[in-house]
Amino acid sequence: MLSKDDIFSEQKISAIELPGLDERPKRFGQLSWRKARCLFVVSSGRVGSMMVIKLLSLSEEVAAFHEPEPRLFEETKLAHAELEQRQRHYRKLFVESRAGTLTHHQRLGKVYAEATNTNFVFLAPIIADVLPNARFLFLHRHPGEYVRSGMRRGWYFDHYWDPWIIDPQPGHPDHTAWARWDQFRRICWKWNAITTFLADFADSVGPQRVTTMSFEELVDPASDAVARIFDAADVTPPDEELVQRLLAIRVNAQTTRDFPKYASWDASQKGILQEMCGATAARLGYAL
């Protein structure tokens, strides 16, 4: 759990160890952990999920974590391609990695909140099935600004997570073309693959369990985003002064490399984005 010093800092926290894993019970009674109150923040990444976790950490009712250990980044890389065929495998993987900590925080009377990594998000249907009380916050961002952020981070070029970032597997319509694609087009594909999956998931599960929010809403002081976040977690919002103090801090901002903002892209770049992301972008209200 984040300390107050962590909450009110600009430090990027890539992973936070969950307490209680060494206390993991060998038996969970009548599977009581499945009744845990929890919120999973799911997204394509680069959408403000660290800020959301810090906001949630302001509440004494919530134990909030950003990409907690075990992250299972490698173990879930292929989930986007094989979840339907290997549901039992991924169900077991999720239970073994999270049942202990869910039990721990349920006993403490806390709502467990987790911002998942961009591979773990593909387990969302399993999480929804295994945990009937689980809620989800689906965050999305304009694909142009997402691609810009990915270019600056070096995805599919020299990023340290490149070996485990998703790509189209054999049998996928884009698998053969992938080797010819440049970094830009690959990042467009990534936004579309993850965001389309999550939009479909949100539609299938319904608004009673999934709150959908854009990055643009999250950073707009005039929006009701903060209230909706705490409503999704089903807890009382913290003191407004604390919230405003936190929102004034830039959290996990990209500082390396440079790439033009979407408004300054040339026609070719915008055309590729429209081709690869246009349908889902329009579905979410983005004009390309």
Q: What is the pLDDT of residue 62?
A: 97
CA pair distance 105, 133, nearest whole angstrom: 14
How many domains are there within the chain?
A: 1
Please tell me the total number of residues recorded for the chain in this structure: 288
Q: Is residue 131 part of a domain?
A: yes
Q: Is residue 226 part of a domain?
A: yes
| Percent residues over pLDDT 90 in the chain | 84
Q: How confident is the model at residue 16 (pLDDT cuts 50, 70, 90)?
A: very low
Q: Is residue 86 part of a domain?
A: yes
CATH code (residue 218): 3.40.50
- Do strands 62-66 and 111-115 pair parallel, antiparallel, or not at all (unpaired)? parallel
Q: Is residue 135 part of a domain?
A: yes
The more confidently predicted of residues 96 and 32 is 96
The more confidently predicted of residues 12 and 38 is 38
Q: Is residue 288 part of a domain?
A: no
What are the backbone angles phi and psi of residue 132, rounded to the nearest 5°? -65, -20
Q: What is the pLDDT of residue 6?
A: 65
User: What's the pLDDT tens digit per position in 112-130?
Assistant: 999 999 999 999 999 999 9
Residue 17 has pLDDT above 90, yes or no: no
Q: What is the pLDDT of residue 252?
A: 72
Residue 17 belongs to domain spanning: 4-283
CA pair distance 183, 202, nearest whole angstrom: 29
Residue ranges of alpha helices (H) inside 108-239 are 124-130, 143-153, 175-178, 183-205, 215-218, 225-233
Residue 159, C-beta contacts closer than 8 angstroms, at least 6 positions apart: 153, 165
| H or E segment and range at residue 102 | helix 87-107
β-strand partners of 63: 112
Q: What is the pLDDT of residue 33?
A: 87
